[in-house]
């Protein structure tokens, strides 16, 4: 067998039967392709982020396991140790449930420390054969096992306490909703579940009926639709976990390119699982001025009543007579339910950034710069639900779009918090009340002598907003906190990938047919 390098930088291997195999290297792993196996080079950032998260998770797990060994006595029942997934060697087990070429599993085996076993599963004969070849090509036969099986069945077979995985990766073509129920069962306690969804049209509100069928939630098209999509997915995962007295702790939640990607830690506990109802809810959205207000589903008791829950009293701050927006008098819509709790763990993200900064230049991943920029933005994000676009708000009242720093400064000078969002370069995420935000744009309209009678239709949202008085002092003096840290450091924050190969690739033909998957109904002639 000989290996040559072609003009594109990839390798071409000729086997004894003269069949040419294209070899691509990503990170420290090599993969060969000669059949219809799914591969998308654009998702290198996704895989680099996963490797970074797993490195930190592995280090945290090893540290935690050592602490548990010191705290526990040798007489502790083995069943308890199995439940917590404390192996004698302290190494972690990983499942790549939809492995395709096996690239993720191979990279995990070579780039993530303290890994004892990786199952690279796929429901395609071609894919499994390719995984086996690539495992040999990388020399990791002692760690990676190629496994043929339906992803759901494979995960269900490993839901036993002593069979669970410390980390489960789901990277399907389209939605991951059909895999969530089995996935939350096969993750060990305190394990990590990593989920990608590429059906952004569904998650972003283009087809609310499809969103309801897949995620048990509805949404509409909004400027903050990408964060809505993240929160819909997190709520779906948490809901699946709650059925088994489990709950999630979001570590990192990312919406980039053409997909959403979430990393959640899965815990077990009936008492904490009951609190999930206080972390989800619906959101009122104005169809005119786009004002929003979250409404939680359950309220937890206080004091000695913390074990009791009740339905909260409905008190809408943006709903007026006739269920219309108090700011612009246009109708309100209701979306959800979505996850309302924080979608990132700031201590975990800080650990990721410290790991990236301490990595020697020769050992950095291919998308190191973008990883550092995106995670820095994530670390700066407020935990407040959803965000606004400052240029959209200016468009509502038909004023010239003010500088983002001016709007941020006005919010900070009023005593409130503000941040951007990794989802949108024009995002304004804040804990300021909606009336203050509209006062800022009313002040802009006043300073630029905007005549609402001439510029706006009387039935428009902006006409009603500009007709209200300014009740807050608006100060546009530049505030030191108005400039984002990622921008100060000139980090890669938003990357436009709309080039030749951008977007989700076509699903591998012949990988899984409906008959083999068990979804095709057999027709019987009468």
Task: Sketch out the chain's domains with CATH numbers.
Answer: 38-339 (3.40.50.150), 388-488 (3.30.56.70)
Residue 519: pLDDT over 90: no
What does 222-256 look like in DSSP terms, one character per residue? -TTHHHHHHHHHHHHHHHHHHTTTEEEEEEEEEEE
Instruction: With cut-offs at 50, 70 and 90, classify the pLDDT of residue 352.
Output: very high
pLDDT of 154-205, one tens digit each? 999 999 999 999 999 999 989 999 999 999 999 999 999 999 999 999 999 9
CA distance 219 to 203: 8
DSSP state, 319?
B
State how far the Cα of 92 lies from the Cα of 62, in Å rounded to an integer: 9
**Whole-number Å distance between alpha carbons of 470 and 448:** 15
104 annotated as ligand-binding: yes
| pLDDT value for 90 | 77
Q: Is 286 annotated as a binding residue?
A: yes
DSSP string, 321-347: GGGBBTTT--BEEEEEEEE-S-SS-HH
d(CA 100, CA 494): 29
User: Around Cβ 476, how many Cβ atoms within 10 Å?
Assistant: 18
Cα–Cα separations (whole angstroms), residue 42 to 175, 495, 504:
18, 12, 8
Rounded to whole angstroms, the Cα distance separating 43 from 259 reads 10
Q: Which residues pair with residue 224 across a beta bridge?
A: none
- What does the buried/exposed string (b/e) look like for 486-498 if buried means 16 or more CB atoms within 10 Å of the residue's CB? bbeeebebbeeee
pLDDT tens digits, one per residue of 222-259 = 999 999 999 999 999 999 999 999 999 999 999 999 99
β-strands 115-122, 92-96: how paired? parallel
**Calpha distance 74→77 (Å, rounded):** 8
Distance CA 391, CA 290 (A): 12
Check whether 439 is labelled as a binding-site residue. Answer: no
Q: What is the pLDDT of residue 517?
A: 40
Percent of the chain with pLDDT over 90: 73
Residue 7, pLDDT score:
36
The residues, any chain, with a CB within 8 Å of residue 60's CB and separated by 6 or more, are 351
* Residue 328 is assigned to a ligand binding site: yes
- In the chain, what is the straight-line distance between the N-terminal and C-terminal CA atoms, in Å? 56
Averaged pLDDT score across all residues of the chain: 88
pLDDT tens profile 475-518? 999 999 998 877 777 776 666 555 555 555 555 444 443 334 43
**Can you give the pLDDT at residue 168?**
99
Cα–Cα distance between 337 and 121 in angstroms, integer? Answer: 32
CB 303 within 8 A of CB 355: no
**pLDDT at site 86:** 52
Residue 370 assigned as binding residue: no
Strand, helix or coil at 36? Answer: coil
Check whether 211 is labelled as a binding-site residue. Answer: no
Reduced to 3 states (helix: H, G, I; strand: E, B; else coil), residue 473 is: coil
Q: How many residues does the chain have?
A: 526
């Amino acid at each position: 067998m000989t290996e040559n390098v072609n003009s594109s930088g990839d390798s071409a291997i000729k086997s004894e039967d003269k069949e040419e195999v294209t070899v691509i290297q990503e990170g420290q792993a090599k993969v060969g392709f000669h059949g219809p196996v799914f591969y998308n080079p654009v998702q290198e950032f996704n895989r680099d982020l996963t490797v970074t998260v797993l490195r930190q998770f592995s280090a945290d797990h090893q540290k935690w396991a050592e602490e548990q060994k010191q705290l526990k006595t040798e007489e502790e029942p083995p069943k308890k140790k199995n439940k917590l997934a404390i192996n004698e060697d302290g190494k972690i087990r990983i499942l790549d449930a939809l492995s395709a070429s096996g690239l993720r599993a191979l990279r995990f085996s070579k780039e993530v420390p303290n890994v004892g076993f990786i199952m690279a599963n796929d429901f395609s004969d071609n894919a499994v054969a390719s995984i086996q070849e690539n495992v040999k090509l990388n020399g990791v036969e002692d760690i990676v096992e190629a496994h043929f099986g339906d992803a759901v069945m494979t995960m269900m077979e490993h839901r036993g306490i002593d069979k669970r995985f410390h980390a489960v990766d789901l990277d399907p073509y389209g939605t991951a909703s059909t895999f969530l129920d089995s996935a939350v069962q096969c993750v060990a306690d305190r394990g990590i579940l990593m989920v990608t969804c590429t059906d952004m049209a569904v998650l972003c509100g283009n087809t609310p009926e499809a969103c309801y069928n897949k995620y048990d939630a509805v949404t509409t098209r909004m400027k903050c639709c990408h964060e809505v999509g993240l929160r819909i997915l997190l709520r779906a995962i948490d809901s699946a976990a709650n059925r088994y007295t489990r709950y999630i702790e979001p570590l990192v939640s990312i919406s980039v390119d053409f997909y959403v990607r979430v990393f959640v830690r899965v815990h077990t506990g009936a008492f904490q699982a009951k609190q999930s109802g206080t972390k989800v809810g619906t959101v009122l959205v104005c169809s005119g001025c786009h004002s929003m207000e979250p409404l939680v589903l359950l309220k937890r008791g206080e004091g000695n009543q913390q074990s009791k829950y009740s339905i909260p009293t409905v008190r809408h701050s943006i709903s007026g007579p006739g269920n219309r927006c108090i700011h612009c008098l246009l109708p309100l819509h209701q979306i959800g339910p979505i996850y309302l709790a924080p979608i990132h763990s700031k201590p975990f993200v800080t650990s990721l950034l410290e790991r990236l900064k301490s990595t020697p230049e020769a050992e950095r991943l291919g998308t190191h710069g973008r990883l550092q920029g995106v995670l820095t933005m994530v670390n700066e994000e407020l935990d407040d639900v959803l965000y606004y676009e400052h240029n959209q708000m200016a468009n509502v009242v038909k004023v010239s779009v003010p500088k983002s720093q001016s709007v941020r400064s006005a919010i900070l000078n009023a005593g409130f918090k503000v941040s951007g969002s990794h989802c949108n370069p024009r995002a304004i995420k804040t804990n300021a009340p909606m009336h203050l935000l509209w006062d800022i744009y009313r002040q802009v309209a006043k300073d630029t002598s905007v005549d609402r009678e001439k510029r706006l239709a009387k039935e428009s949202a902006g006409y009603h907003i500009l007709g209200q008085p300014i009740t807050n002092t608006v100060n546009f003096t530049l505030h030191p906190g108005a400039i984002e840290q990622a921008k100060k450091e000139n980090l890669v924050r938003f990357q436009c990938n709309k080039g030749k190969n951008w977007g989700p690739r076509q699903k591998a033909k012949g990988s899984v047919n409906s008959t083999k998957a068990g979804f095709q109904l057999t027709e019987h002639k009468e």
